[in-house]
């Protein structure tokens, strides 16, 4: 017995010792590689000069990103929750003067595409309506091979150098000790990281704005983020920024609405995209480019290679050069949407890279991450990733190899195979890199032209409409209100005060924390461990452009109501005329009308017609619709008024600033709402279009005004003006 006890104690001690060997505390320690080498600079990748290309020999960058790329399987580390669709792209007119890319040179050609939209931070099972960046990745299956334009719905990013990407994602992901919160940035680690990374200031303005809560994938912009190159047949290079402009305009939902949608239908965006394509309402975007001649590279107040900066459209207008149409849903989600593999390094002749240090790191990372996620080096053979042109090279074998190559030659050069597959001349479509001159020392550093962190953040805030500014302030107040560490909140108020004093004051008022009178400049993370901060203190800069209309959604397209979803609140005894006339008018204008009633299947109108019902009041919710209408009919109106869910439906629609209409005979339903005092006392025989509320006893006149109201998307003027100290 004693011997057994001794053995048990020994095993327990061995177990404790083993656990201790695998436990570490990083407090007070110096940073090292996984092999124990101390790191002097964890902020900058190794480049050929401050603005030069990232070097393959940067073993610290490669170790860090390789580990990051392989941290989670099998879903994507970022952009895990996605929705995809097939479509086509056509260029309007030849762009051959700028690029030799064939798909941009032939207006008669139709290039097949696959597009994947996504959220960034959450897992595959998270909600579509998280406050987050949205991925917008387009795979063009061109006759010269695949071109992947892998972008987001925001034109800038949090960081300037790819070596910081693992840190950013570690910070925004659920915290490692408790795996909370899911698909949310409102927690300590994210804002701690942001509060000591001043380069993220511009992106934070975008993520806290309404752009992070799109109404639909079909109603959001897309951006290539980085500056790329166009190269024409003569070898002349231009810098280019890519844009996607939605033909339905750019629209968002309210934050309270987004939270409700997450509970009612977490697949809201995925369902919206699927339903639109299934119904034949094909989503469309125009491809736009901002082109900067090579000789103008340094003419701006910002650096074209800085991914935290955009080119204001006032300085370089966006040329719309072609149209993307999504016209087919996937046949199988996993085989197509989930297995689609995008990579910024998939380019065709005529499109090339710049030395943007974030882009340079992505060129390494994307192939590496697909190797583990899709099982090996043959992920390009999965049908959704295959090019439409033949593939010929000397690569063989590997996990899940599909191609059966004939012959004994798998190397080059060779004589047994007569030298084939042979290298292609440039005139034969062979890709040649732009011969940019490189003459620099190897350094871990960042160009001082990257040190302006606040002027474009200020430009974005100044460009917002008053409702958009209020929403941004609310978002920051909410997110920082979820942060437990007071010192993080205080640092963020210092950051915000460098963007705009009124912004900082408004958020400080909500947090009941004073704005720092003389906030310390946040540490410039471009400085290596032994750098001199005095050399890097000049990054507070006032840009000459104070506002840009293109940065606000207030001026977006507000014509037409195609694909807008309209709820009709009804019951037995509904006036068939007031229902059908308005429904026909809305559907003729392209809207989708759904009948909601106390019970499913059908309702019986006042003239004994059966009208199909789409949802009951139990299964429907106002947050899933763009507008709401209450038709007439004595019995129907009385029933709707008595339905608490129906009155809540209307109250919530009003709260979220949506268009509301009612037949004049249904006025008692409106009077049961909290917003009835918004209407004039005498409404008879008149149309009231005030704050998006339409009342009329003529269904045709009502329909005309209602369509105009729905087209406005939202009536943000209903929100009370913010009252804060100056």
State in words which class domain 565-718 has: alpha beta
Task: Name 519's Cβ contacts closer than 8 Å, sequence gap at least 6.
Answer: 493, 494, 495, 497, 498
Q: What is the DSSP letter of 17?
A: H
Verify cis geometry, omega within 30 degrees of 0, for the bond prior to 413: yes
User: Is 378 marked active-site?
Assistant: no
Burial 34-47 (b: 16+ CB within 10 A, else e): eeeeeeebbbbbbb
- Measured in whole angstroms, the distance separating CA 437 from the mean position of its chain's CA atoms is 35
The stretches in the chain having pLDDT less than 50 are 15-21, 73, 536, 684-685, 724-726
Encoding tokens for residue 302? 């910002």
Please give the C-alpha separations between residue 334 and each of 49, 73, 195, in angstroms, as whole numbers.
43, 15, 38
Cα 136 from Cα 151, distance rounded (Å): 5
Dihedrals phi, psi of 464, to nearest 5 degrees: -75, 150
Q: Is 657 exposed, middle or buried (0-12, 13-18, 19+ CB in 10 A)?
A: buried
> What residue ranges do the domains of the chain occupy?
46-192+215-385, 453-551, 565-718
Q: Given 1.20.1370.20, 2.30.110.10, 3.50.50.60, 1.10.10.10, which CATH number is that of 453-551? A: 1.20.1370.20
What CATH architecture applies to the domain 46-192+215-385? Beta Barrel (2.40)
Cα 622 from Cα 620, distance rounded (Å): 7
Cα 78 from Cα 84, distance rounded (Å): 16
Helices (H), 512-664: 576-588, 634-642, 644-655
Cβ–Cβ under 8 Å, residues 306 and 227: no
Short-list 708, 650, 623, CA closest to 268:
623
- Three-state SS annotation for 312-347: CCCCCCCEEEEEEEEEECCCCHHHHHHCCCCCCCCC
Three-state DSSP state, 205: helix
Cα 529 from Cα 342, distance rounded (Å): 35
Task: Note the pLDDT tens digit of each residue in 301-343.
Answer: 999 999 999 999 999 999 999 999 999 999 999 889 999 999 9
Active-site residue identified among 44, 102, 152, 385: 152
**Using a CB cutoff of 8 Å and minimum separation of 24, what contacts does 265-270 make?**
265/621, 265/624, 266/126, 266/127, 266/128, 266/129, 267/128, 268/128, 268/129, 268/624, 269/83, 269/117, 269/128, 269/129, 269/214, 269/216, 269/217, 270/83, 270/128
Short-list 158, 92, 67, 66, CA closest to 121:
158
Cα 679 from Cα 94, distance rounded (Å): 55
DSSP string, 25-59: --TTPPPB-TTSPBPS-SSS-EEESTTSPBPTT-H
CA dihedral 397, 400, 404, 405 (to 10 degrees): -30
Cα 225 from Cα 242, distance rounded (Å): 7
- pLDDT, position 670: 94
Task: Name 613's Cβ contacts closer than 8 Å, sequence gap at least 6.
Answer: 570, 595, 596, 597, 599, 600, 601, 602, 603
Cβ–Cβ under 8 Å, residues 513 and 543: no
**CATH topology identical between 46-192+215-385 and 453-551:** no
> 627-630 and 565-569 as β-strands: parallel, antiparallel, unpaired?
parallel
- pLDDT, position 294: 96
- Cα first-last separation, the chain: 79
Evaluate the CA torsion angle 26, 29, 35, 38 in order and state its sign: positive
User: What predicted TM-score, i.e. pTM, was given to this entire model?
Assistant: 0.90
- pLDDT, position 394: 83
Task: Name 331's Cβ contacts closer than 8 Å, sequence gap at least 6.
Answer: none
DSSP string, 244-264: EEETT---B--HHHHHHHHHH
DSSP string, 480-504: HHT---HHHHHHHHHHHHHH-HHHH
User: Is 79 marked active-site?
Assistant: yes
Cα 120 from Cα 203, distance rounded (Å): 14
- pLDDT, position 72: 59
Q: How many CA atoms lie within 13 A of 647 on its CB side?
A: 17
- pLDDT, position 19: 40
Q: What is the DSSP letter of 466?
A: H
Active-site residue identified among 79, 86, 187, 343: 79
Q: Which stretch of DSSP H or E encloses residue 146? A: strand 145-152
Cβ–Cβ under 8 Å, residues 132 and 122: yes
Dihedrals phi, psi of 200, to nearest 5 degrees: -80, -5
Q: What is the DSSP letter of 171?
A: H
- Beta-bridge partner residues of 245: 286
Burial 100-129 (b: 16+ CB within 10 A, else e): bbbbbbbeeeebebbbbbbbbbbeeebbbb
CA dihedral 597, 602, 605, 608 (to 10 degrees): -160
Helices (H), 176-241: 188-195, 201-207
Degrees, nearest 5: CA angle 50-52-54? 105
DSSP string, 339-405: T----TT---TTEE----HHHHHHHHHHHHHHHHHTTSTTGGGSGGG--SS----S----TT-----
Cα 180 from Cα 177, distance rounded (Å): 8
Cα 158 from Cα 375, distance rounded (Å): 30
- pLDDT, position 70: 66
């Amino acid at each position: 017995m004693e011997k057994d006890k001794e053995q048990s104690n020994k095993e327990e001690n061995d177990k404790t010792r083993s656990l201790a060997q695998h436990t570490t505390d990083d407090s007070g320690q110096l940073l090292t590689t996984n092999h124990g080498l101390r790191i002097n600079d964890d902020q900058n990748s190794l480049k050929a000069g401050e603005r030069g290309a990232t070097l393959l020999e940067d073993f610290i960058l490669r170790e860090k990103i390789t580990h990051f790329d392989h941290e989670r399987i099998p879903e994507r580390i970022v952009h895990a929750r996605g929705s995809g669709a097939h479509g086509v792209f056509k260029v309007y007119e030849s762009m051959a003067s700028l690029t030799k890319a064939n798909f941009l040179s032939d207006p008669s050609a139709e290039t097949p595409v696959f597009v994947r939209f996504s959220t960034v931070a959450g897992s595959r099972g998270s909600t579509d309506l998280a406050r987050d960046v949205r991925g917008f990745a387009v795979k063009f299956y061109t006759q010269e091979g695949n071109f992947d334009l892998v972008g987001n719905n925001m034109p800038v990013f949090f960081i300037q150098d790819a070596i910081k990407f693992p840190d950013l994602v570690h910070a925004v992901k659920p915290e490692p000790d408790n795996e909370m919160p899911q698909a949310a940035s409102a927690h300590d680690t994210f804002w701690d990281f942001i509060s000591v990374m001043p380069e993220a200031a511009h992106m934070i303005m975008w993520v806290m704005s309404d752009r992070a809560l799109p109404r639909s994938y079909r109603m959001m912009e897309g951006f290539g983020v980085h500056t790329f190159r166009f190269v024409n047949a003569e070898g002349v290079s231009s810098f280019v920024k890519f844009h996607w402009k939605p033909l339905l305009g750019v629209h968002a939902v309210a934050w309270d609405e987004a939270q409700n949608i997450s509970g009612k239908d977490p697949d809201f965006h995925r369902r919206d995209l699927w339903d639109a394509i299934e119904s034949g309402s094909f989503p469309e975007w125009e491809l736009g480019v901002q082109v900067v001649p090579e000789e103008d590279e340094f003419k701006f107040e910002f650096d074209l290679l800085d991914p935290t900066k955009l080119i204001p459209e006032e300085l370089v207008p966006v040329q719309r050069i072609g149209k993307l149409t999504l016209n087919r849903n996937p046949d199988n989600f996993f085989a197509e949407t989930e297995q689609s593999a995008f990579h910024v390094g998939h380019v065709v002749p005529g499109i090339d890279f710049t030395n943007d240090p974030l882009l340079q790191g992505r060129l390494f990372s994307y192939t590496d991450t697909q190797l583990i996620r899709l099982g090996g080096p043959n992920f390009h053979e999965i049908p959704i990733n295959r090019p439409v042109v033949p593939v010929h090279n000397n690569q063989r074998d590997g996990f899940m190899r599909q191609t059966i190559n004939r012959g004994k030659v798998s190397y080059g050069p060779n004589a047994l195979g007569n030298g084939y597959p042979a290298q292609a001349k440039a005139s034969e479509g062979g890709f040649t890199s732009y011969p940019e001159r490189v003459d620099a020392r190897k350094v871990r550093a960042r160009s001082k032209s990257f040190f302006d962190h606040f002027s474009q953040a200020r430009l974005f805030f100044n460009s917002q409409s008053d409702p958009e500014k209020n929403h941004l302030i609310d978002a920051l107040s909410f997110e920082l209100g979820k942060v437990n560490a007071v010192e993080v909140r205080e640092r963020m108020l210092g950051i915000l005060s460098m963007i705009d004093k009124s912004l900082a004051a408004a958020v400080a008022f909500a947090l009941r924390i004073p704005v720092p009178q003389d906030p310390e400049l946040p540490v410039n993370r471009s400085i290596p461990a032994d750098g001199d901060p005095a050399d890097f203190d000049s990054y507070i800069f006032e840009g000459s452009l104070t506002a840009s209309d293109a940065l606000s959604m207030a001026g977006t397209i507000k014509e037409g109501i195609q694909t807008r979803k309209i709820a009709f609140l009804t019951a037995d005894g509904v006036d068939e005329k007031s229902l059908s006339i308005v429904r026909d008018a809305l559907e003729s204008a392209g809207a989708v009308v759904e009948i909601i009633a106390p019970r499913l299947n059908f309702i019986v109108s006042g003239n004994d017609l059966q009208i199909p019902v789409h949802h009951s009041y139990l299964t429907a919710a106002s947050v899933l619709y763009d507008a709401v209408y209450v038709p007439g009919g004595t019995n129907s109106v009385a029933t709707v008024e008595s339905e608490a869910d129906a009155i809540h439906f209307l109250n919530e629609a009003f709260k979220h600033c949506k268009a509301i209409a009612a037949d004049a005979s249904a006025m008692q339903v409106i009077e049961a709402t909290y917003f009835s005092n918004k209407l004039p006392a005498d409404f008879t025989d008149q149309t009231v279009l005030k704050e998006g509320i339409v009342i009329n006893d003529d269904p045709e006149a009502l329909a005309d005004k209602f369509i105009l109201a729905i087209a406005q998307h939202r009536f943000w003027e209903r929100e009370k003006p913010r009252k804060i100290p100056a």
